[in-house]
């Protein structure tokens, strides 16, 4: 049996499992962030201008809480989908990479909000959900593979 440089058994199919798990987690996290931003924009429609620095209230809570929840969701989903990987170090490191990737993937929501408004945010969330749905079968097949 071949081993990797760390002494663990070399299983090349784990690369695909890890990549799909990170992509799935990233899409789920970015979709949640887009929904949280949509919720913040919806709350802003009926409210007065924020007072105070930083502005406290539901909009602030939705933006900050939704962003952190999206990053956390990406890490948790990627970690759980990488169950076939035996190394907790690798699972953890790759799951954290999914969290960082979520941060990068959610950046276009600012532009979409500016150009298309709330509809752009919902479209982004829907695109993330469609991506997850298309990827779900491949992820499930990878989980059964080991």
Q: What is the pLDDT of residue 10?
A: 58
Write down the pLDDT at residue 60.
Answer: 87
pLDDT tens digits, 103-133 = 999 999 999 999 999 999 999 999 999 999 9
Q: Kindly report the three-state secondary structure assignment for every residue of the chain.
A: CCECCCCCECCCHHHHHHHHHHHHHHHHHHHHHHHHHHHHHHHHHCCCCCCCCCCCCHHHHHHHHHHHHHHHHHHHHHHHHCCCCCCHHHHHHHHHHHHHHHHHHHCHHHHHHHHHCHHHHHHHHHHHHHHHHHHHHHHHHHHHHC
- Per-residue model confidence as pLDDT tens digits over 39-97: 999 988 876 666 666 667 888 889 999 999 999 999 999 999 988 888 888 889 999 99
**Model's pTM, two decimal places?**
0.85
């Amino acid at each position: 049996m071949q081993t990797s440089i760390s002494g663990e058994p070399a299983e090349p199919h784990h690369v695909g499992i890890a990549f799909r798990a990170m992509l799935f987690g990233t899409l789920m996290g970015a979709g949640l962030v887009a929904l949280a931003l949509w919720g913040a924009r919806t709350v802003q429609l009926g409210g007065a201008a924020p007072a105070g620095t930083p502005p406290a209230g539901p909009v602030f809570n939705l933006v900050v809480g939704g962003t952190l929840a999206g990053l956390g969701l990406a890490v948790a989903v990627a970690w759980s989908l990488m169950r076939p990987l035996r190394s907790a170090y690798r699972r953890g490191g790759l799951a954290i990479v999914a969290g960082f990737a979520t941060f990068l993937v959610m950046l276009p929501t600012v532009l979409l909000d500016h150009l298309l408004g709330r509809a752009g945010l919902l479209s982004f969330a829907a695109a993330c959900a469609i991506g997850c749905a298309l990827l779900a079968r491949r992820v499930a097949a990878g989980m059964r593979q080991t």
